[in-house]
Amino acid sequence: MEEFGLGNMDIIQALSPFPGFGATGRICGAVSGGLVALGLYFGSADMTDYSKTGAAISAARKFLPRFEEVLGSLQCAEIQEDAIFGRFMDPRASQENMQAFIDAKGYAKCALPAAIGARLAAEIIIEDMAQQ
């Protein structure tokens, strides 16, 4: 976000419950973060500015299949199983699961989808900048 002059740390704070959509294994937090970045760039604070809202939705429709193509899913549990750990760790389900997640370097490994999401969102923003 900094590279494009978008947002602030309040947005990062607001996204803190989004990884795995509240650690439920649902939508990957990297998907949410990428969509927020695209919304900041393409969208508008005026929800009746339909051209900007439409541009944000069009950007999301580019982002989502690209993310899914790289990681195989938009779902945290499936990404953990297929791309990161070989299984869904579900770290918030129990102390044992959390310890297994920590032992597997889960916080570091789960940064990979976030980096991929940031790169994909940045590519879409750069593509738009190149067209202007």
- CA dihedral angle for residue 93, residue 80, residue 28, residue 105, rounded to 10 degrees: 70
pTM: 0.89
- For tokens 């994909």, name the residue: 120
Neighbouring CB atoms inside 10 A of 87's CB total: 12
User: Of how many residues is the chain composed?
Assistant: 132
The pLDDT tens digits for 73-131 are: 999 999 999 999 999 999 999 999 999 999 999 999 999 999 999 999 999 999 999 99
Whole-angstrom Cα distance, residue 23 to residue 89? 10
Per-residue pLDDT reduced to its tens digit, 107-122: 999 999 999 999 999 9
Domain regions of the chain by residue span = 26-131
